Structure 1
Amino acid sequence: MKMKKILAFFCLMPITLFAQYFNVNDYGAKGNGTLCTAAIQKTIDAAAANGGGRVIVPAGKYLSGPLFLRSNIVFEVCSGAVIYFHNDIANTPAIMGSWEGINRRVYASLFTGHDLENVTITGRGQIDGQGKVWWDAFWKTDKIRMQSGIREREPDNPKGSPLKYPRPRMINLYRCNNVQISDLSITNSPSWTIHPVYCRNVNIRGVSIVQPYESPNTDGINPESCNGVRISNCYVDCGDDCITLKSGYNEHGRKVGIPCENVTIMNCTFAHGRSAVGIGSEMSGGVRNVTIMNCVFKGTLRGLRVKTGRGRGGVVENLLANGIIMEDLREGISIDMGYEGTTESVFPVTEETPFFKNIRYSNIIGHNIEQAINIIGLQEAPPQDIILENIRLECKRGLVANNVNQLTLRNVELLSSNNQAPFSIANASNVILDNLASCRLTDKYPVIDMKMVEGAVLKDCIISSKEKGWFMRSTDCYGIEYLNNLLHDALITE
């Protein structure tokens, strides 16, 4: 027994020796609401000089400008502590970073880290970005850009603009490995809230993000060209996209060529925002191997959204979503290749042509959805190999799919309330419709309306013998096959 105690003592020694604590109060931070940027930075630097350690922010109110993290640091905002980001635009330094898919000079964020290893930001405390000053400056700057005829994102802001550079984020980590962000409550970010760029092994867990609905570009979590991201048990309610995966903008993104890949999003709740989980539109480096599971979307404009347009290039592939609950959305599922543009006409396929493929969404239920499913492809590069399975959505409008290849709908029920076909498919090929259902038949419009479809299988659809009405209409279609359907008196026209 004595020998076991001695061994246990020596086993615990390394943990005790290297788990050193650095309290910001000991380095001059008062916790009374006065500016303490230098004191907090001094604490971080002291921990780094020690080879690493835990920086402690105890209960109190702390006003701070941009802070620069170091490797092997745990930064803990304790319960009862609030860190306020200063709203002094003139005294916010500019650094090299990334904004909207372009590497450029940006205002430094509250927490900034470049080329770091083993970085943790955690705690039960709060971070308040005091973003209104930045939002107002953005609206004024945006107006000046519009008046100056600047439409694209690349040019710098005109002289005389309130903002010289893109706004700070709350947390911006650049080329960092082994990142953990956990348990924090974050509000009022000047722009995007958590923005890791070119990072590996990122774990974001138990974070609450709440932004005013009208706040501009206050996305929740935006991993950009990251590898190995896990987002779990988070609550996000914001003024823009709750989570968006990105990988660079147009030529800038294609030149860097780093995809956002191997991402898992699970057990999260998303409220308000432009989309719950989005991909793009800056996806020119590619996005792949993404799993979304066991999440709730309530009140966002869109649920699962993948967006791009001509000029982006890049490939989005291997997307899996399973176990999703949606309520009060404008669009439930959106796969849109016409973002900020048009899908009309056929363009040559070049490096600027984006591609979507291998998308699997299953086990989704939803209530009060305006548009259930919207799939819009490019004629020269239609999205391909899309499977939607075990889905039941109560909606005003059902599915609209245009320019798509290899579309499978299996056990999909769309309870639409408007006077249109619940399933509308056009300019498609290799379509499988398996066990579809909707509201009761009517003689006013069909359940399934297909136009210019090349190759389709309708199988295992069952209509009650008491129901009469129009089940399917096909126009300019060929290669339609019917297997094991029980439609009784339902009408099919070709």
Structure 2
Amino acid sequence: MKLLWKTHMRLQVIKLVFALFVVTLRTAESRKAKIVTASFEYNGINCRAHSASLTDFGGVGDGVTSNTKAFQSAISNLSQYGSEGGSQLYVPAGKWLTGSFSLTSHFTLYLDKDAVLLASQDITEWPVIEPLPSYGRGRDAPAGRFTSLIFGTNLTDVIVTGENGTIDGQGAFWWQQFHRKKLKYTRPYLIELMFSDGIQISNLTLLNSPSWNIHPVYSSNIIVQGITIFAPVTSPNTDGINPDSCTNTKIEDCYIVSGDDCVAVKSGWDEYGIKFGWPTKQLVIRRLTCISPFSATIALGSEMSGGIQDVRAEDITAIQTESGVRIKTAVGRGGYVKDIYVKRFNMHTMKWAFKMTGDYNSHADTHFDPNALPEIANINYRDVVAENVTIAAKFEGISNDPFKGICIANVTLGMAVKAKKRPWTCTDIEGMTSGVTPTPCDLLPDQGPEKIAACDFPEESLPIDKLELKKCSYNMKYVEMF
């Protein structure tokens, strides 16, 4: 009997193995594989010696399957080539659902023109990390913050680019949680790189970020170029590009529609930013188009406690945006905003053309120093044209801490039919104007046409403008399942 029983069980096992083989064979037949050749090129800070596709690591671009582990596996594998000419990960056409993943050094993430990264709405795919040391707390909540969709820290030579591929943050889920005060941690950003050097983010479309879109922080030698950003104009804190405690940065040829500032320049918050002490300096912003009805085209602050210096903005267009250039600070911030240069600014339908105020009293906590006064100095605007403006400017310094060195030249502001009768508001400021319409306030006296050339840019270029991108061209093969 024992022999018969063993024989019977062996037959059952053989039948089971055969059945599994048939199922596997049918599955393989239903999903066929083909070899695909991809050709692409881009301008990059560096080209790469090694390439792979996300599909080589099990990526599935159906918009449903999570690819978080595929991204993590691919980047971990490719990191071995950092000292051998670097590597790049190609994301083919498809919809690639993913949670947060981290990049590596000497690396390029390249998105095909028909590739869409979809941010996961599974909150377990978003690890929580500590607040930024220069902020002392999260922006949305006192505790930590969710890691950004594309993240990296302590990296060198990193590129995130494509043929205008798309990153969709699917932010509505996060905005609802934020409005309902359901979040224990600060919402994730789309792209954040920390403590890194040599960063390029270019030729991408970013949609519906949960919060800020691009956030380089504590980093240097950064290029943000050819970026298109869209978010509903009522979405909370969907800032476009926020260089934060960064040195030698260039932002150019970007189109931004958002629910907050299109570019927000930052460097830490109150006592935490003062202690950390990393300024943002040597920043170029050019050929930017902004639409943001409730915020600024370019904001300096309000978190500026580490200092902001040498910002140069030129050839800027703002359409139906609350303000042109806005400086936001307060007692307790400390730090400085100085050596700011703006020229060739065109504005259409604005609430304020210019705004700088010292009463932005949003604090990290109650431990800020009430004697930490910010320094606002050497702020220059020239060659500005605007139409349909409600208020020319609101300049309100701090009592016993005036904003100094304001220079405005060759500016024509066409006021709206229902414009305020008093186009300029000026308190606790010092400066001059030349060739400005409508007539400025008494604290900004007109110095006559001979001063029209005042308020000009520095002549010497910043180091980031001297960096020449390389032409990178690739032909690669990868397996596509269908």
Decide whether the 8 Å contact of 1:100 with 1:282 is kept in 2: no
Matched, 1:423 2:453: no
Matched, 1:48 2:82: no
Decide whether the 8 Å contact of 2:433 with 2:440 is kept in 1: no
SS, match of residue 301 in structure 1: strand
State the partner residue of 2:425: 400
Instruction: Measure, in 2, the Cα distance between the counterparts of 1:400 and 1:196.
Output: 34
SS, match of residue 175 in structure 2: helix
State the partner residue of 1:63: 97
**How has the CA–CA distance of structure 1 residues 61 and 352 changed in structure 2, closer, same or farther, with 3 Å as cutoff?**
same
Q: 1:114 is aligned with what amino acid? A: T
Decide whether the 8 Å contact of 1:374 with 1:401 is kept in 2: yes
Instruction: Measure, in 1, the Cα distance between the counterparts of 2:203 and 2:413.
Output: 33
State the partner residue of 2:211: 191
**How has the CA–CA distance of structure 1 residues 67 and 355 changed in structure 2, closer, same or farther, with 3 Å as cutoff?**
same
Unaligned runs of 5+ in 1: 1-15, 142-161, 342-348, 415-421, 437-457, 461-494
State the partner residue of 2:322: 301
User: Highest relative contact order (Cα 8 Å, sep 6+), 1 or 2?
Assistant: 2
**How has the CA–CA distance of structure 1 residues 39 and 91 changed in structure 2, closer, same or farther, with 3 Å as cutoff?**
closer
Matched, 1:19 2:39: no
Pick one of 81, 85, 93 that aligns with 2:127: 93
State the partner residue of 2:388: 368
Decide whether the 8 Å contact of 1:384 with 1:404 is kept in 2: yes
Instruction: Measure, in 2, the Cα distance between the counterparts of 1:308 and 1:39.
Output: 44
- The alpha-carbon deviation at position 459 of structure 1 amounts to 10
Decide whether the 8 Å contact of 1:400 with 1:423 is kept in 2: no
Decide whether the 8 Å contact of 1:99 with 1:106 is kept in 2: no
Matched, 1:270 2:290: yes
Instruction: Measure, in 2, the Cα distance between the counterparts of 1:259 and 1:399.
Output: 31
Instruction: Measure, in 2, the Cα distance between the counterparts of 1:65 and 1:133.
Output: 14
State the partner residue of 2:41: none
State the partner residue of 1:39: 70
**How has the CA–CA distance of structure 1 residues 379 and 234 changed in structure 2, closer, same or farther, with 3 Å as cutoff?**
same
- CA displacement, residues 263-307 of structure 1 (integer Å, 9 cap, x when unaligned): 000011111251000100000111000000011011111111011
- The alpha-carbon deviation at position 17 of structure 1 amounts to 11
State the partner residue of 2:434: 410
- The alpha-carbon deviation at position 255 of structure 1 amounts to 0.3
- The alpha-carbon deviation at position 50 of structure 1 amounts to 2.0
Q: How many residues align?
A: 386
Instruction: Measure, in 2, the Cα distance between the counterparts of 1:378 and 1:295.
Output: 29
Pick one of 77, 84, 97 that aligns with 2:111: 77
Decide whether the 8 Å contact of 1:118 with 1:177 is kept in 2: yes
Q: 2:447 is aligned with what amino acid? A: D
State the partner residue of 1:317: 338
**How has the CA–CA distance of structure 1 residues 222 and 286 changed in structure 2, closer, same or farther, with 3 Å as cutoff?**
same
State the partner residue of 1:111: 150
State the partner residue of 1:380: 400
Calculate the TM-score normalised by the size of structure 1: 0.75
State the partner residue of 1:389: 409
Sequence identity percentage: 34
Pick one of 350, 355, 361 that aligns with 2:375: 355
Write the mapping of 1:176-325 to structure 2, written as runs, cut at 5 A.
176-273=196-293, 274-325=295-346
Q: 2:309 is aligned with what amino acid? A: R
- CA displacement, residues 163-218 of structure 1 (integer Å, 9 cap, x when unaligned): 22100000011111000000000011000000111010110000000101111111
Decide whether the 8 Å contact of 2:296 with 2:325 is kept in 1: yes
**How has the CA–CA distance of structure 1 residues 43 and 310 changed in structure 2, closer, same or farther, with 3 Å as cutoff?**
same
SS, match of residue 303 in structure 2: coil
**How has the CA–CA distance of structure 1 residues 412 and 18 changed in structure 2, closer, same or farther, with 3 Å as cutoff?**
closer
- CA displacement, residues 111-153 of structure 1 (integer Å, 9 cap, x when unaligned): 0101100010001210000011111111111xxxxxxxxxxxx
- The alpha-carbon deviation at position 97 of structure 1 amounts to 4.4
- CA displacement, residues 246-269 of structure 1 (integer Å, 9 cap, x when unaligned): 010000000001111000000111
State the partner residue of 1:450: none
**How has the CA–CA distance of structure 1 residues 459 and 303 changed in structure 2, closer, same or farther, with 3 Å as cutoff?**
closer
Q: 1:111 is aligned with what amino acid? A: I
- The alpha-carbon deviation at position 89 of structure 1 amounts to 2.1
- The alpha-carbon deviation at position 106 of structure 1 amounts to 1.0
Pick one of 125, 129, 148 that aligns with 2:169: 129
Which range is displaced more, 233-242 or 89-98? 89-98
Q: 1:409 is aligned with what amino acid? A: T
Instruction: Measure, in 1, the Cα distance between the counterparts of 2:79 and 2:125.
Output: 25
Instruction: Measure, in 1, the Cα distance between the counterparts of 2:171 and 2:329.
Output: 29
Matched, 1:29 2:29: no
Q: 2:325 is aligned with what amino acid? A: L
Instruction: Measure, in 2, the Cα distance between the counterparts of 1:206 and 1:394.
Output: 30
Q: 1:122 is aligned with what amino acid? A: T
Instruction: Measure, in 2, the Cα distance between the counterparts of 1:81 and 1:251.
Output: 43
**How has the CA–CA distance of structure 1 residues 400 and 133 changed in structure 2, closer, same or farther, with 3 Å as cutoff?**
same
SS, match of residue 217 in structure 1: coil
Instruction: Measure, in 2, the Cα distance between the counterparts of 1:188 and 1:378.
Output: 37
- The alpha-carbon deviation at position 350 of structure 1 amounts to 6.9
- The alpha-carbon deviation at position 423 of structure 1 amounts to 3.4
Decide whether the 8 Å contact of 1:221 with 1:243 is kept in 2: yes
Decide whether the 8 Å contact of 2:246 with 2:281 is kept in 1: yes
Matched, 1:173 2:193: yes
SS, match of residue 190 in structure 1: coil
Unaligned runs of 5+ in 2: 1-45, 139-143, 363-368, 453-482
- CA displacement, residues 376-416 of structure 1 (integer Å, 9 cap, x when unaligned): 111211011111000000122422211112x11100012xx
- The alpha-carbon deviation at position 351 of structure 1 amounts to 5.0
Calculate the TM-score normalised by the size of structure 2: 0.77
